[in-house]
Structure 1
Amino acid sequence: MEITSLSQLDMNATYTYADYLMWELKERVELFKGKILKMSPAPSPVHQKISFRFTGIFYNFFKNRQCDVFSAPFDVRFQNKNGDTKNVFQPDLCVICDSSKIDDKGCLGAPDLIIEIISPGNSKKELSLKYSIYEEFGVQEYWVVHPLEKTIQIFVLEKDIFIGKKPITEDEMMKSYIFPELTFPAKEIFENL
Structure 2
Amino acid sequence: MQERRLSAVAPRSRPVASRAGVRCASRRQVPLPGCWPGEGRRRYTGPGAGARGARRCWVAEACGSGPPARKGAATFQEVADSPPHKVAEILDGELVLSPRPAARHALSAFGLGGMLFGHFQAGGGGRGPSTPEWWILAEPELHLAKDVVVPDLAGWRRERMPQLADVAAFTVVPDWVCEVVSPATVRHDRSRKLRIYARESVAHAWLVDPLARTLEVYRLERGRWVVVDAYGGDECVRAEPFASVELPLGRLWLPSPSPSPEPRPAPRRTRRKRGPA
TM-score by length of 1: 0.79
Note if 1:89 corresponds to 2:149: yes
Per-residue Cα deviation, 1:13-51 (whole angstroms, up to 9, x for no partner): 31343x346525333310012211111x22111111111
How far the C-alpha of 1:155 sits from its partner, in A, is 0.8
- Percent identity reads 20
| Pair member with larger Rg | 2
Which residue of the partner structure matches residue 138 of structure 2?
71
Q: 1 or 2, which has the higher helix percentage? A: 1
1:54 aligns with 2:112: yes
CA 1:159–1:22 in structure 2 vs 1: closer, same or farther (change >3 Å)?
A: same
Q: Which residue of 2 aligns with 1:44?
A: 102
| Contact persistence 1:143–1:152 (CA under 8 A) | yes
TM-score (structure 2 length as normaliser): 0.57
Report which stretch shifted further, 100-109 or 172-181. Answer: 100-109
3-state DSSP of counterpart to 2:191: helix
Q: Does 1:131 align with 2:191?
A: no
Amino acid at match of 2:161: S
Instruction: Spell out, residue by residue over 1:120-147, the C-alpha distance to the aligned partner (whole angstroms, 9 max, x if none).
Output: 2114245300010111111111111111
User: Which residue of structure 1 aligns with residue 87 of structure 2?
Assistant: 28
Unmatched tracts of structure 1, length 5 or more: 1-10, 80-85
The gaps in structure 2 that reach 5 residues or longer are 1-69, 124-131, 257-277
Match of 2:229 in 1: 166
Q: CA deviation at 1:114?
A: 0.8
C-alpha RMSD of the superposition: 2.3
Q: Secondary structure at the match of 2:229?
A: coil
Distance 1:28 1:189 in 2: 22
Deviation of 1:158 after TM superposition, in Å, equals 1.9
Greater strand fraction, Structure 1 or Structure 2: 1
Equivalenced residue count is: 174
